[in-house]
Amino acid sequence: MNSNDIRIGVLIPIGKAQWGGADPRDLIGFAARAERLGFDSLWVNDGITESRIEALSMLAAAASVTERVTLGTAALMPVLRRPVQVAQTLASIDLLSQGRLTVTVGAGFPGRFGKPMYAASQVPWEKRFARLDETVALWRQLWHEPESKAFHGELLHFDDLPTMTSPFRKDGPPIWLAGITPTALSRTGRMYDGWLPYPPDPADYKAALADVQQAAEEHGRAPDAVTPALFASVLIEDDPGARQRTLERFATSNYGLPLDEVRKIQAVAAGGADEVAARLAEYTAAGARHLVLRLGTTGLGAIDEQLDRVAELLPRLR
């Protein structure tokens, strides 16, 4: 892919708050249909504190009914899984999909969005960023250096690592980081293959991307070593009243927050087709090259309808 190409992906609605009363097996059909409609990638978010289809199980199922699309996490919470075991799971999905996996990782929001996941995993909240970076370093060692049997970081220690399933690609799946704090930007430029933030303001995206690219250069990497992506919620709805009601339901059911609060922390593109295209174009103008879109409604029927409407925008967004 040319570094100037724009790729468009869509989030599979694996949370029960989104697929609701539908048969969750219909999510497999959703994945296949998104590929047929021309999307470049399919993504899953992660969690353990609410009802959902487990993220990596969903990607394995999607791999079996797709041939072309990238399969990604947006974002995977490594703290929910033992680090050696998840290295094998990720390598297996990459192998079964013939190298289509991209792994975005995160350490969790402060407060009720992140801390309960650490409590459920019996892992300390403190030093979570160091734990995340060490986990990624361990995965890469397991994939790239099978002869190395020891790993000793600040928090993770292994003396006799097993021989790991080899991923499809020699270098393993690309690993991206979610986050836009100054430390996240520095870490992205230093050691990650991509960046998947969700800032409400395109100007903030542009400034942060410059920091990522500067950090990459400072650590001897090419400025384009990091794929610049964006996570955004989208809703195509011409009627302002219906749009507001739908987004409010979406925000409350998925985040437990009013829409105004969600808009303060996450990119949202809503309106008629022209408005949504124009809003997303602000981010591609700011440097984003892979858009990961979450369809901003609830109920699988309404989500399928939005998938069709967003698919009609794909030529314009590219």
Q: For 286-309, write each residue's pLDDT tens digit.
A: 999 999 999 999 999 999 999 999
With a pLDDT cut of 70, the percent of the chain lying above it is 99
- The helix, strand and coil proportions of the chain, stated in percent and rounded to the nearest 5, come to 50, 15, 35
3-state secondary structure of 234: strand
Q: Report yes or no on whether pTM surpasses 0.85.
A: yes
pLDDT of 113 = 81
- Find the helix or strand (DSSP H, E) in which 5 lies: none
d(CA 141, CA 40): 29
d(CA 94, CA 88): 10
Taking all residues of the chain, what is their mean pLDDT, rounded to a whole number? 96
**Which pLDDT band holds residue 171 (cuts at 50, 70, 90)?**
confident
The b/e string for 247-286 (b: 16+ C-beta within 10 A; e otherwise) is bebbbebbbeeebeebbeebbbbbbeeeebbebbbbbbeb
d(CA 192, CA 186): 10
Q: For 88-131, write each residue's pLDDT tens digit.
A: 999 999 999 999 999 999 999 876 788 999 999 999 999 999 99
With tokens 């998947």, the residue in question is 196
